[in-house]
Chain A
């Protein structure tokens, strides 16, 4: 290849990329607006602009119920997808999720505690979920420090598995003790994830943590590439791998824990979106992380639309993200064989 064809191929790639950026951004905006006016009230379908002026209930519904819920779905998708990217880079493993270091199961344990022992007030449930998410993380971290096998990352993975299992056993015990008529269903629904109970208060309570987490992940995103390299290589490139990993991981977990505390466990978003983003833009996190954010936002909003529209009641969001996420995963894996010959 000579210089001019090289330049051309770069330009073609750049044009293709800017097209995808445009499509993703405008897709997200469009889906957001459509979702805001889409629902089952006043009639199945769209709210008419006229109804917003005349029908107070419709106005309340759109601005006080749907809007905060939609914004939370957007936040959830962006946070889970970017935190997933951060975790997959830091652990150099494309199969980890942002909640796996004891964070998701810790949060579930906290929420279950709140539901059974503190009267299921939403402040107690949310507060305990976030506290135990961090206890789960801290516990995993301390356990990893006491272990003596493998390298640091392997120890963290093992500690995460152990701590998650402990907390999930704890959830089992609480479920066993719970009142089967009132509390047990509530724990079950919490663990299936959902945004039906989102209010402006809840949204605003998690907004700062999510924004701080998202901002840190975005600002440091190129460094993530270095952290995925072998530790000695990252060190030779002037990085301080441990310190930088800790910073990015804390940012990712902070935002993830905040989201889980109001949405319950919504899996697969953080696993799949980073894969799709890498498929579209390559592995360089300079592009793949913001792409994952946009894709996550779109995916979470679409899933939440289905959750509230598909049937008259409400399908738990976590079921839909798992179902669609796993389907996409299967399709990607089946296609991968053509793209990457062994």
Chain B
């Protein structure tokens, strides 16, 4: 049995009394796993991710990191252990990629420190791991959306996190960029980074997850391997499709919408 790095214990969360997203959420993110949160729009995937970050606080229950409640960590401690790749991050000003990636060093610095030699080196390594070393001096606003997403991943890696959270990282990317990003994530996971990401594309869960978490919008989640979770029945139900709309190829080699 592997060790639970991040655990949700009887967590409830709602944006209002009428809109309860989770009522009894129990889930362990195991160390070294690559977990994919799968579910339709609005089911609560991002909510779960932001609770894992400590940004949203549960209305009941606790979220623990290494068995200690998230709130008991200082801001800096959390920043050194958990990092976030948000969906479509907006940058009000233009930075060079390297300047931007160095922001990831913030939790390792005191309030009055600025990135130094070591931080510079870590930022370069993060660029290399994301496969965009050549873009170090490019301005962020000149990057393609694929390159940009990789730069955001590099910024998150510069935090040297144990857990990497990603919110719909493949949205708005073409097939090639999706593939390169997923490949990067898989390599990071093999190198020991625990990953929790959201997606609404079952294909992605099949392609890279070691664990699939189904967020159905009924206040709970279902956890298993992609093969256990992703069946034609589940998907039909999950996305409110008519019976027979989805066809899953043998050996889970592909999911197809029935030809219309």
Contacts and interface: CB of A to CB of B under 8 A. Distances in A.
Interface in B82-105: 82-84, 86, 89-96, 99, 103-104
Contact of B79 (A219, A222, A236): A236
Contacts of A13: 137
A237 interface: yes
A220 B112 contact: yes
B89 A229 contact: yes
B134 interface: yes
Contacts of B93: 89, 92, 94, 228, 278, 283
A233 interface: yes
B106 interface: yes
A239 B106 contact: yes
B78 interface: yes
Nearest to B138: A1
Nearest to A288: B93
A1 to B, nearest CB: 5
B212 interface: no
Interface in B228-255: none
A48 interface: no
A238 B78 contact: yes
A93 interface: yes
A335 to B, nearest CB: 16
B168 to A, nearest CB: 14
B114 interface: yes
Contacts of A89: 93
B137 A10 contact: yes
A238 B55 CA distance: 11
A222 B89 contact: no
A51 interface: no
A238 B95 contact: no
A240 B95 contact: no
Interface in A203-252: 219-220, 222-223, 225-226, 228-230, 232-233, 235-240, 244
B137 to A, nearest CB: 6
A130 to B, nearest CB: 28
B83 A236 contact: yes
B104 to A, nearest CB: 7
A237 B137 contact: no
A9 B111 contact: no
B55 A236 contact: yes
B50 A232 contact: yes
B99 A282 contact: yes
B147 to A, nearest CB: 14
A237 B50 CA distance: 13
Contacts of B137: 1, 6, 9-10, 13
B99 A284 contact: yes
B134 A237 contact: no
A89 B134 CA distance: 28
A230 B112 contact: no
B91 A238 contact: no
B136 interface: yes
B14 interface: no
Given A220-B112, A236-B53, A240-B75, A282 B96 contact: yes
A244 B112 CA distance: 11
Contacts of A225: 95, 99, 103
Given A235-B75, A237-B83, A283-B93, 11 more contacts: A1-B137, A6-B136, A232-B53, A232-B84, A235-B53, A235-B55, A236-B83, A237-B79, A240-B75, A283-B94, A340-B141
For the complex of A and B, list the 5 residue pairs with the smallest distance between their C-beta atoms, beginning with the closest.
A238-B79, A238-B107, A236-B84, A283-B93, A92-B92
Interface of A: 1, 6, 9-10, 13, 89, 92-94, 219-220, 222-223, 225-226, 228-230, 232-233, 235-240, 244, 278, 282-284, 286, 340
7 contacts: A94-B92, A94-B93, A222-B114, A229-B89, A236-B82, A282-B95, A284-B99
